[in-house]
Structure 1
């Protein structure tokens, strides 16, 4: 399936999951690791307000943008770009940057107790 065909698809999440069941998956952070998705797929996460949807997405984004290794430090990331669409305008960039900083400090072995 080419990019134009993939972008033109109008399918439900169930139909998308059924479609990608036959494709080889790549590794994602839990709980998304249970879903066989391909690079480039769009994932919609829904749930009630206190269900940690944003936290899961922030952690996944951090894992995507960090490099696998840089200057001899292993970050374990994928080194890819991320697009985060927030239609409610509730994305907290300070929270994102704090979690990213903690992940970097942890990888460098400089995580200090607060």
Structure 2
């Protein structure tokens, strides 16, 4: 029985995901309900999330929190850089945010950065 280190297990999981990507991509391409643009977007997202799983997961978490805050307060949230290489989160509120501390805690729960409220 072979035992693998944690790093080796992570690499094996990544390789298996990368091997399965062409099968999933082929399913997307054969789906006749999707437009060419939707197919391209889904394949790009599939390859990106397979190659950079941690970054992709962080972006998805940020997107969910940003959408939740937009629904509740009307404030638009965006990153200065979409690839998480910046240390700024830009917040554009429609009006005064009612609970700034809760808002700040929501942002800090997603990313360990300190948000700059503008």
TM-score relative to the length of structure 2: 0.29
Select the structure of larger CA radius of gyration. Answer: 2
TM-score relative to the length of structure 1: 0.29
Higher relative contact order (CA 8 A, sep 6+): 2
Q: Greater share of helix residues, 1 or 2?
A: 2
